[in-house]
Amino acid sequence: MEYSEFSRLGVTFKRLSMDTLEMLRQWRNSDDVRPYMIYQKIISPEDHLKWYESLDRKTNFYYFTFYNNEPFGVYSIKDIDLEKKTGEPGVFLKNKSLWESEFTLRGSFSLLLFAFEELNLESQIIHVLKTNKKALSYNKQLGFKINTGFQNNDFFELILKKEEFFANNRISKLLNYLEKS
């Protein structure tokens, strides 16, 4: 399925298109985003377009997210392995000031639910720079666990399994709260 647009927990997800491609590049190259990414070079319009045209849309889902009609971030599930039922979720926000906003959490939970329930993934895998303590702490609280078998000097691999996510009491409580509020 295309999943071009969906809403969950008050957040609307609109799939990346040619119309919004340049906005993505500008956000991605900004000082609020680029230093926290594994790939930190400035991305040119040409390279950005090449990247977009090379995306397999069946295994890579990139969304602009909106809260009260305002775009605030880009959430993605990429590199889906349809046989292993794994994929890599990711997020970056328009600017740093949004890091502590409730709607960014709503976006994170919505994305995880989308991947587990709609895309039927069994586990989600992320890679986080070892220096990005904030992202590490945040993802651990979402239930991700460090893959101790993964060796890399610069970043950790963390895994979130579907059954552990839905069995996590704290997550269940938060989801209940977000769904009713």
Q: List, in order, residues 6 or more apart from 83 with CB less than 8 Å away.
A: none
Q: Should residue 84 be labelled a site residue for another protein when binding is judged by CB under 8 A?
A: no
Q: Which of residues 117-136 bind another protein (CB under 8 A)?
A: 134
Q: List, in order, residues 6 or more apart from 104 with CB less than 8 Å away.
A: 72, 73, 91, 93, 98
Q: Should residue 170 be labelled a site residue for another protein when binding is judged by CB under 8 A?
A: yes
Least spacing, CB of residue 137 vs another protein, in Å? 6
Which of these segments, 56-64, 68-76, 124-132, 137-145, binds another protein (CB under 8 A)?
A: 137-145
Spatial distance between the Cα atoms of 44 and 142, rounded to a whole number of angstroms: 33
Asked if 12 and 66 count as a contact pair (C-beta separation under 8 A), the reply is: yes
Q: Give the nearer residue to another protein in terms of CB position, either 61 or 156.
A: 156
Among 6, 138, 155, 166, binds another protein (CB under 8 A): 138
Half-sphere exposure (Cβ direction) of 75: Cα atoms closer than 13 Å: 24
Under the rule (CB under 8 A), what is the footprint of another protein?
99-102, 104-105, 134, 137-138, 141-142, 170, 173-174, 177-178, 181
